Structure 1
Amino acid sequence: MGGGVGGLGLIAIVLIGWMLGVDVTPLLGGLTGDGGAGQGQAHEPTAADERAAQFVSVTLADTEDVWSRIFIEQVDARYEPAELVLFKGATQSACGGASAVTGPFYCPVDERIYLDTGFFTTLEQRLGAGGDFAAAYVVAHEVAHHVQQELGILAEANRTRARMNEADSNAVSVRIELQADCYSGIWARAAEAQFGSIEPGDIAEAMNAARRIGDDALQRGSGGAVRPETFTHGTSDQREAWFARGYESGDIVACDTFGTDRL
């Protein structure tokens, strides 16, 4: 059994991926010197990696069930789920390199979500957003970008951004991200109704996570000045408010960040 991973650990991670649509091969195959998947030193999955794989797999499966139903009910279309790639350290995506530094992201080119297994630790210990539902919000937010892609919103917004200067492009990026927060709220409301899995305090955890990763909060946390012209994701207040709008309405139409002058 190659790659330095053996026994039940390998079986558990591979089965999780095979059953629930998470690609965990970057955890098993090692990395090349330039950060791409290859035949370099292997990274043996830890118990924390296995817990992360199981958690995101279950969350991803929930998003698939929820969005499949919402697409049928609200847009009369079929939802094609995204694939989530778990990696440790660094890997390559069709949109470029992915690492712990880049954070979780959605690549519309290959329609995959990339998530470093160590991000949940960063979220809790460095950003102050602990709890299972805070982590679920992160997964749901990236899935929401895939929902935007499925609806044709993301591709159109990115075409528009390509014709703009940096400041205007950033402003469009903020609208993309706030809509994804709103869609995350829709998912939370639907998951609560469909699975009964929301516990007291869960929504507060998600709202706290949204606040902690606002552009203004991150810039203050890094010791720098707050520069609104550089924002790409929205302020803490905006991110929390748009998540709340999605959660309260459950309606895709209510998440039209591109059709309002007040974010």
Structure 2
Amino acid sequence: MKWFIGGSDNVEDARGGSKGKTLLGGGIGLIVVLVGLFFGTDLTGLVSQLPLGETGPVQVQQGANTDSELKFVSQVVKSTELVWDDQFRQMGKTYEHPKLTVFTESTPSACGLAESAVGPFYCPGDHKVYIDLGFYTELKDRFGAAGDFAQAYVVAHEVGHHVQNLLGISEKLERARGSLSKTEYNKLSVKLELQADFFAGLWANHAQKLKNFELDPGDLEEALTAANAIGDDRLQKQASGQVVPDAFTHGTSAQRVYWFKKGFDTGDINQGDTFNTNQL
């Protein structure tokens, strides 16, 4: 990827307890949906690890763009801001920028304690994406998904969940949760995740049109490899040797590739309704 823009002001560096400005995160109610967890883990119980309504202080390093990885993530976030600003403007809405917090091992969030083991996730309670950059090493070593565009896809997917939150999509799913069986809810969760993949593809389409970056040969394949590597069927097969479709929460490898590619190819948000289609 060749970048033509600077970084975002909405990236917080909470690694290593570095000294800097202390931010106090806001609390949330009982709606806690940790969507976008790449390992398909149900972590809604994390909310019990911190008192509802407060998250404790987060130490944020001043001058966050001090290393290449953080600079790259900051550029991705800035690009998502530019793209979704434009998309929301076309819908007659205003896009509220999320923040992205980079941490090591663990950090407080409005959804409970964010830990490296859970992978990147979006917390609707504080409108933040959380990521330990060590995940990129695991993405490369464990899943064979290397490359900068694969890394950008991860961030864009989580920002896609923020878009769903702002549009009220996530809330509708959560309201329905109490009346659904676990299998039925899992099916809706898959649709939510695949739509976030579509939004990630849509972002890449429009970011190029806005001249945020230019893709190098092989970049698209990097993102498709990442999407393919973290499908529920592949992860279940690796973990237990079995595939249990009723337990899927994020979609199969083929589905994730399909919806990312559809967003990338069409760039049309109206093509991303995963909830009212017979073809996932």
Pairing 1:63–2:80 present: yes
Name the CA distance, whole Å, in 2 between partners of 1:38 and 1:150: 25
1:161 pairs, out of 157, 177, 185, with: 177
Name the CA distance, whole Å, in 2 between partners of 1:162 and 1:189: 37
**CA positional deviation for 1:51:** 2.8
More helix by share: 1
More strand by share: 2
The aligned counterpart of 1:215 is 232
Name the CA distance, whole Å, in 1 between partners of 2:113 and 2:131: 12
Structure 1 unmatched runs, 5+? 1-15
The aligned counterpart of 2:126 is 110
1:244 pairs, out of 249, 261, 267, with: 261
**CA positional deviation for 1:155:** 1.2
Name the CA distance, whole Å, in 1 between partners of 2:17 and 2:75: 20
Residues 178-223 of structure 1, C-alpha deviations (whole Å, 9 max, x = no match): 0000011100101121114222211111111000000011111224
Residues 148-187 of structure 1, C-alpha deviations (whole Å, 9 max, x = no match): 1111111111211233121111111000000000011100
Letter in 2 for 1:96: G
Structure 2 unmatched runs, 5+? 1-5, 20-48
Residues 20-54 of structure 1, C-alpha deviations (whole Å, 9 max, x = no match): 21111344349xxx898779xx9x9xxxx933221
**CA positional deviation for 1:231:** 0.5
What secondary structure does 1:85 align onto? strand
Give the length in aligned residue pairs: 236
The aligned counterpart of 1:256 is 273
Pairing 1:202–2:219 present: yes
The aligned counterpart of 2:204 is 188
**CA positional deviation for 1:128:** 0.7
The aligned counterpart of 1:20 is 9
Pairing 1:137–2:153 present: yes
Name the CA distance, whole Å, in 2 between partners of 1:192 and 1:123: 24
1:77 pairs, out of 85, 93, 99, with: 93
Residues 64-95 of structure 1, C-alpha deviations (whole Å, 9 max, x = no match): 0111011112x121111110011101112111
Name the CA distance, whole Å, in 2 between partners of 1:234 and 1:127: 16
Name the CA distance, whole Å, in 2 between partners of 1:149 and 1:53: 25
The aligned counterpart of 2:189 is 173
What secondary structure does 1:91 align onto? strand
Name the CA distance, whole Å, in 2 between partners of 1:101 and 1:88: 10
TM-score (norm 2): 0.78
Which structure has more RCO (C-alpha within 8 Å, separation ≥ 6)? 2
Q: State the superposition RMSD in angstroms.
A: 2.3
Checking the alignment, whether the CA contact within 8 Å between 1:162 and 1:169 is kept in structure 2 is: no
State the identity as a percent: 44
2:135 pairs, out of 106, 116, 119, with: 119
Name the CA distance, whole Å, in 2 between partners of 1:99 and 1:118: 12
Residues 230-249 of structure 1, C-alpha deviations (whole Å, 9 max, x = no match): 10000000000001111111
